[in-house]
A and B are shown apart, each in its own frame.
Chain A
Amino acid sequence: MIETKDLVVKFGSKTVLDGVNFRAAAGEIVTLMGGSGCGKSTLLRALMKLINATSGQIFIDGERVDDLSETKMNEVRKKMGMVFQEGALFDSMNVRENVAFPLRRHTRMKEKEIREIVRERLEAVGLKGVEENRPDQLSGGMRRRVAIARALALSPRALLYDEPTAGLDPLLTATVSDLIMRMRDRYGTTSIVVTHDIDAASRISDRIAMIHEGRILTEGKLDELERCGHPHIGAFLNAMRPGGAIGGN
């Protein structure tokens, strides 16, 4: 479904992704983990072509997209959705208008049909009665759920999540994690999730890819990563565990 070959992204003289070979099969949930600034979010943005690759290739559904024009890429983007860290909801619109936005832009649906889809998507993310609220009237967790509902509006085949649980309390983290799995089960979406949350990653992932200094060090289930013996991965996982240097209690 999604594949990169020798993907390199440079910002000026700084190499952020240094030859990434990555693959996510249809319906799979793959988590990208690694330290801050290692290139996880950059990889998501490169997959959506929000930033241009310096070299290498990106394939979505077997179609090479890294050399597509913006207009042609927009056709590919309709098959994908992205959930940004803080939701990136349009603050000039209420919740209903946010979720309806892609439907109004890209379909000829009647207003009644749009309202029905908006209601269904919001229900799928566990939200009811918030349609008229503005984004600034929502909590962080609700904003992210609305963002997921908006990303789902066009029934995409793949969803990219950029730190969907960052800054959320454990209960909300569990809610969003469950939601990611439910979206896969309900809509069969391929999911690529960037997170620092090791518990959430081990719960939801079919596979975890560890990124370090712009390269994928290794991939696998959490226990496979723990056994791989790579000193950086061991140190990272220990630091992120509850009671570790970053994981807290």
Chain B
Amino acid sequence: MGKIAFHPIVTAVEYVGKLAGMLATTLTYFARLSVDFRMTIFHMSNLGVNSIPITLLVVGFTGMILSVQVTEQAVRFGTTQFIGGGIAFVMVRELAPVLTAVVMAGRVGSSIASELGSMKVTEQIDALRSLAVNPIQYLVAPRMLALMIMIPAVTVIAGLTGIMAAYMVAHQVYGVNWEVFYSYIPRLVEQRDVSAAMLKSGLFAITIALIGCVEGMHTEGGASGVGKATTNAVVVSIVSIFALNYALTVLLF
């Protein structure tokens, strides 16, 4: 009875242990500069650059929706000068990092988990080890480094896109000009907001890479196991991103 009651806790502790173990080993390779940089560049393109269009679409539309909601009220109350600053403030601090990370978790986290999961069930990861290659060094470290570089970079592009999309709606629909829209952005968005957003993005990148890799490399049970690992990677990553975001928001702002 006690064993059954404690089972989810034991599973959760084991899972955190796997994440911590893989993170520690990966960081060791980073510290030794023992990362395959050719593979890292390949993954920066494959996982990062190829994710830019969908991320920009999601964050761009979010900026437009935000603009419709905010601008209408601002025009009504005669506070249009705050539109740009308000939207940029929310976009930089929360929306750009979180939405980019969520899109990346869906697109990249699932891709990592399914690729490594397929390798696991077809014994390719054992084959790597038998060829004296450490799978964490060869498979995990380049992916994590690629995401640590690309997710903050995509977040910057996404944030700018979201703000510009919001301005486009404010200008086209409500006639707000650029000077008015821009006027409060430098006053409301400070350097530390941008730095905090980059820190958040970097930590989200580690979370997505780590969960995708752990799910992939512990896949069991053939094709259905790969499907399960892929789903788990997305679900666990997204929940972790929101939980981590809350903690970071409390700590950083």
Tell me the A residues contacting B by CB distance below 8 Å: 45, 48, 50, 70-71, 74-75, 77-78, 80-82, 84-86, 88-91, 101-102, 105-106, 150-151
Contacts and interface: CB of A to CB of B under 8 A. Distances in A.
B192 interface: no
A31 to B, nearest CB: 19
A88 B127 contact: yes
A89 B129 CA distance: 13
A237 B127 CA distance: 31
B193 interface: no
30 contacts: A45-B126, A48-B129, A50-B130, A75-B132, A77-B130, A77-B131, A77-B132, A78-B132, A80-B130, A81-B130, A82-B127, A82-B130, A84-B127, A84-B130, A85-B123, A86-B122, A88-B124, A88-B126, A89-B124, A89-B127, A90-B124, A90-B127, A91-B118, A91-B122, A91-B124, A102-B131, A105-B131, A106-B132, A150-B131, A151-B130
B113 to A, nearest CB: 16
Contacts of B124: 88-91
Interface residues of B, number: 13
Given A48-B130, A81-B131, A89-B127, 18 more contacts: A50-B129, A50-B130, A74-B132, A74-B133, A77-B130, A82-B126, A84-B123, A84-B127, A85-B123, A88-B122, A88-B123, A89-B124, A90-B119, A101-B131, A102-B131, A102-B132, A150-B131, A151-B130
Contact of A105 (B123, B127, B133): B133
A239 B158 CA distance: 66
Contacts of B119: 90
B134 interface: yes
Interface in B117-154: 118-119, 122-124, 126-127, 129-134
A150 B123 CA distance: 15
A86 B123 contact: yes
A105 B127 CA distance: 14
Nearest to B127: A88
Contact of A70 (B118, B122, B134): B134
Contacts of A88: 122-124, 126-127
Contacts of B133: 74, 102, 105
Contacts of A90: 119, 124, 127
Contact of B134 (A74, A78, A80, A101): A74
Contacts of B123: 84-86, 88
Interface of B: 118-119, 122-124, 126-127, 129-134
A75 B134 CA distance: 12
Contacts of B127: 82, 84, 88-90
Contacts of B122: 86, 88, 91
Contacts of A151: 130
Nearest to A76: B132
Contacts of B126: 45, 50, 82, 84, 88
Contacts of A77: 129-132
B27 to A, nearest CB: 16
Nearest to A98: B127
A52 to B, nearest CB: 12
A189 to B, nearest CB: 15
Residue of A48, A77, A88 contacting most chain B CB atoms (<10 Å): A88
Contacts of B129: 48, 50, 77
A150 B133 CA distance: 14
Nearest to A160: B130
A74 B133 CA distance: 7
A163 to B, nearest CB: 12
Contacts of A89: 124, 127
- By Cβ-Cβ distance, the 3 closest A-B pairs, closest first, are A88-B127, A88-B123, A74-B132
A86 B127 CA distance: 11
Contacts of B132: 74-75, 77-78, 102, 105-106
Nearest to A49: B129
Contacts of A101: 131
Contacts of B131: 77, 81, 101-102, 105, 150
Nearest to A48: B130
B144 to A, nearest CB: 18
A36 to B, nearest CB: 17
B37 to A, nearest CB: 14
Contacts of A91: 118, 122, 124
Contacts of B118: 91
A134 to B, nearest CB: 14
A146 to B, nearest CB: 12
